[in-house]
């Protein structure tokens, strides 16, 4: 007996963080934090989180209450 196959849609997801004209590549996005691939020191500020799903950009305005530290890949936001 053959088992039914289910097609799982293939997604292409990418993230980037735009801060004061600088672009940071995002490796992982969670509910209120993200992981940057190459962090640099940035003071607390407003930013834009751009999540691209299958070529379509979704832009979310966020605030980085602790900024970004070059010593940590993790960044919190709201």
Cα dist from 48 to 6, 9, 65, 71, 78, whole Å = 36, 27, 13, 21, 11
C-alpha 22/C-alpha 18 separation (Å) is: 6
Instruction: Write down the pLDDT at residue 1.
Output: 53
pTM of the model: 0.83
Instruction: Write down the pLDDT at residue 5.
Output: 77
Which residues, in sequence order, are bridge partners of residue 54? none
Q: What tens digit of pLDDT does each residue of 8-34 get? A: 888 888 999 999 999 999 999 999 999
């Amino acid at each position: 007996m053959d088992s039914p196959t289910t097609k799982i849609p293939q997604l292409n997801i990418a993230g980037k963080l735009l801060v004061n004209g600088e672009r940071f590549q995002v490796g992982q996005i969670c509910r209120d934090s993200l992981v940057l691939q190459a962090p640099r020191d940035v003071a607390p500020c407003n930013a834009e989180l751009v999540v691209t799903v299958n070529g379509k950009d979704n832009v979310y305005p966020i605030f980085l209450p602790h900024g970004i530290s070059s010593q940590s890949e993790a960044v919190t936001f709201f």
